[in-house]
Structure 1
């Protein structure tokens, strides 16, 4: 019997050390805004406003907490010694690039937090989680342990949820989580097909690969996760990202494609073998025909797709079709704005477009889709999760008050060495775990 299910979106709450360090080679927006002064308070409030807008429309909306930054355990593991103040001073004076890396608020982009397979697809009929090792970038490779703790604190009941450790943190098994994974289905509660997108085959040096920018996801990692999650061959399709797209700044597949239900919205340069990918998806999707919405380079040049983050949008069910929740930058790029106007006039599955202001996140290279982790849950599973993270009017008001009390309105690279910032962060996060009912998940709490 098919169970009723919903797709819950768990957005990352932007952390108090949100800043522009330009740490992500291959992410055009991240590099172009390096050393700008950031506004962590505004960034967090923008993220919360997006969550509230969707919760008000009836979507199940949850919150994932930020990480402790600067991360002193990492600095100590790299040889910086003394008390907290001395560790920060040493890092700032001898290698500020390392201090910037361990201060990144990049965990806000929870599309990279994990890969999630719903119970309708898995052999043991549990929801499976694998935190992404994010091994391609040092500043992100330190996230998966706390991410795993947070997920276990939310999805606690082992009769419903299975948690796997991150894959080995080496380039051969580079894993970027749900940013390179999407699921297509006729209904959320029915078996679907999971699309794993990779940038290179690590054990085949002759295989196609980008030249200018690195490929962050490997086929080997994608296949390992499919095995860990107990997916049959019918439930998994593997597709290589077009190397030309990666070299154009498409560092994750969710910068050039997004799926929901039986709809795949993508740019013509998204996949290396477009025809094969569509054929396999069509063959394995049951209960509904695949609706592929293909955007040509003539309609939207790939440079405009990257600049606007057209595809880094949320695709959501509504009673009248699908809603595309886009960043405001989509209305600032003429080709993209024209395309969106034509899109909603057609007879396709996407019937409406709504703009969300996430400019602070966008300047670091993350749009609406980067900010959320999708988790399909049936009614029993939804009832079994830690309800303290589900956004309600009361929780929203409490989090807004919390942000205003603890976040700075300006932050630049020099501020990262301020020991008062570390104290502010720890005080804020200690309070937040109480608000969300997560228990002790941070290193300073253990």
Structure 2
């Protein structure tokens, strides 16, 4: 039976803004308070989805969240009508209003961790929504994320859904941004690779000194247990604390993997040789031939990697066995990174082609091509069981671009977030979107 890796890209929400909320994310902090363009952001993301679909890759859409999150503001003591809650928050606690308006759910690499049926004990595809408890504005996402994923992957015969881990620091979980999977074929048993920044309970593991390590070893181990993964199909690796302190807040900012290949920076991990040997041995026992491509610091510095998001790219397998790398425009703008990529693709190695996409609106807020997609490996039967409304087609692309043109603003500043009309615009847009994507009632305003 044929299997696929389907990329479900996050649709940028109507409240896309530069709130500078993500400490440790250099791009997010450096562009704080600038005016954003939600319409352009959504259309840039849709253009990438359409392009990958036209290249023959399976492509899906993951809906944004309702923002501002009035219910979250009510839990923090603001009362009255929805409009009054927003007005009072703007007057008394503008940072909380900004956080409640964040469109960060667009980066669905953080939505969940996904294990394919070939790896799990019960033979189903498992999803665990990420608690994202390191940042308040992201910690409020997982209830809606779980409902949306449940509406997309509803057939319990094929799909299993787990609630987010306990929302405490010891189980900080950032989802697929710190997880990848190696396999010979998407439908065959593979090796799941969990990368953590620190251990909550074991002091033998070093921790960064400047920026927080968002993923714990204990969270990764818990997800592996929930998904029914065997020890012979799991590898844990620690992210280098020094690169976290340079702005590498997730592993997908310093490494990307696909199929049998890991593309990574020389400084990405601790005990790299031991980790590579374990991956090679475990994948070998499952019929795979693990291969790695190390980018030396002498050619691309960590700073170059963070500024260009070279590794926050999509590494895609093509029919001829070669790989395609999807990178943001910022890679072409960095001389050292672009020179490295030109040499990489001309060497006749595994990565034969690089395609560049303009994702400036997302990039300025700290998310590149890999942040915008959640990878789900599915066999033909499972793909047929996915809600068809969320699978990208040419007609759906046309409908969604019209929907964005109809509902999105082309400029949004911090002051605009205090406008109660923005909430009404968002709800109207999302109510229509759930009909387009055939999701049913997944948002609080539709349920309560």
TM range (shorter): over 0.9
Following superposition, the deviation at residue 63 of structure 1 comes to 0.4
Deviations 1:391-420, CA, capped at 9 Å, x for gaps: 101000000000000000000101111011
User: How far apart in 2 are the matches of 1:249 and 1:152?
Assistant: 33
* Structure 2: runs of 5 or more not aligned: none
| Alignment match of 1:120 (pick from 118, 121, 124) | 118
| Alignment match of 1:55 (pick from 48, 53, 56) | 53
User: How far apart in 2 are the matches of 1:9 and 1:110?
Assistant: 10
Deviations 1:241-274, CA, capped at 9 Å, x for gaps: 0001100100000000000100000001111110
**TM alignment of 1:92-131, pairs within 5 A:** 92-131=90-129
Following superposition, the deviation at residue 202 of structure 1 comes to 0.6
1:353 matched residue in structure 2: 354
Deviations 1:18-52, CA, capped at 9 Å, x for gaps: 00010000000000000000000000000000000
| Alignment match of 1:145 (pick from 143, 146, 154) | 143
2:303 matched residue in structure 1: 303
SS in 2 for 1:344: helix
Comparing 107-116 with 197-206, greater Cα deviation is found at 197-206
1:287 matched residue in structure 2: 287
Following superposition, the deviation at residue 370 of structure 1 comes to 0.1
2:365 matched residue in structure 1: 364
2:333 matched residue in structure 1: 332
Q: Is the 8 A contact 1:291 1:349 kept in 2?
A: no
Deviations 1:24-83, CA, capped at 9 Å, x for gaps: 000000000000000000000000000000001111100000100000000001100000
Following superposition, the deviation at residue 204 of structure 1 comes to 2.5
TM-score (norm 1): 0.99
2:15 matched residue in structure 1: 17
Comparing 124-133 with 203-212, greater Cα deviation is found at 203-212
**TM alignment of 1:232-271, pairs within 5 A:** 232-271=230-269
Say yes or no: does 1:38 pair with 2:36.
yes
Following superposition, the deviation at residue 349 of structure 1 comes to 1.1
SS in 1 for 2:346: coil
Say yes or no: does 1:400 pair with 2:394.
no
Following superposition, the deviation at residue 207 of structure 1 comes to 2.5
User: How far apart in 1 are the matches of 2:282 and 2:203?
Assistant: 30
Comparing 203-212 with 351-360, greater Cα deviation is found at 203-212
Q: Is the 8 A contact 1:326 1:355 kept in 2?
A: yes
Following superposition, the deviation at residue 346 of structure 1 comes to 1.5
Say yes or no: does 1:135 pair with 2:133.
yes
SS in 2 for 1:415: helix
**TM alignment of 1:85-234, pairs within 5 A:** 85-234=83-232
User: How far apart in 1 are the matches of 2:37 and 2:362?
Assistant: 10
User: How far apart in 1 are the matches of 2:110 and 2:234?
Assistant: 19
User: How far apart in 2 are the matches of 1:207 and 1:305?
Assistant: 25
2:411 matched residue in structure 1: 410
User: How far apart in 2 are the matches of 1:258 and 1:205?
Assistant: 28
SS in 1 for 2:352: strand
Q: Is the 8 A contact 1:20 1:364 kept in 2?
A: yes
1:84 matched residue in structure 2: 82
Following superposition, the deviation at residue 288 of structure 1 comes to 2.6
Following superposition, the deviation at residue 319 of structure 1 comes to 2.7
2:72 matched residue in structure 1: 74
Following superposition, the deviation at residue 87 of structure 1 comes to 0.4
User: How far apart in 2 are the matches of 1:427 and 1:225?
Assistant: 36
Deviations 1:143-198, CA, capped at 9 Å, x for gaps: 00000000000101101000000000000000000000000001111100000000
User: How far apart in 2 are the matches of 1:324 and 1:248?
Assistant: 24
Moved over 2 A (4+): 204-207
Deviations 1:294-330, CA, capped at 9 Å, x for gaps: 0010010110000000000000011340000000000
Q: Is the 8 A contact 1:255 1:306 kept in 2?
A: yes
Comparing 48-57 with 198-207, greater Cα deviation is found at 198-207
User: How far apart in 1 are the matches of 2:127 and 2:278?
Assistant: 24
Deviations 1:71-98, CA, capped at 9 Å, x for gaps: 0000001100000111011100111000
SS in 1 for 2:433: helix
User: How far apart in 2 are the matches of 1:279 and 1:12?
Assistant: 34
| Alignment match of 2:62 (pick from 58, 61, 64) | 64
Deviations 1:109-142, CA, capped at 9 Å, x for gaps: 0000000000000010100000000000000000
The aligned length equals 444
SS in 1 for 2:355: strand
Following superposition, the deviation at residue 206 of structure 1 comes to 4.9
User: How far apart in 2 are the matches of 1:192 and 1:75?
Assistant: 43
SS in 2 for 1:209: coil
1:313 matched residue in structure 2: 313
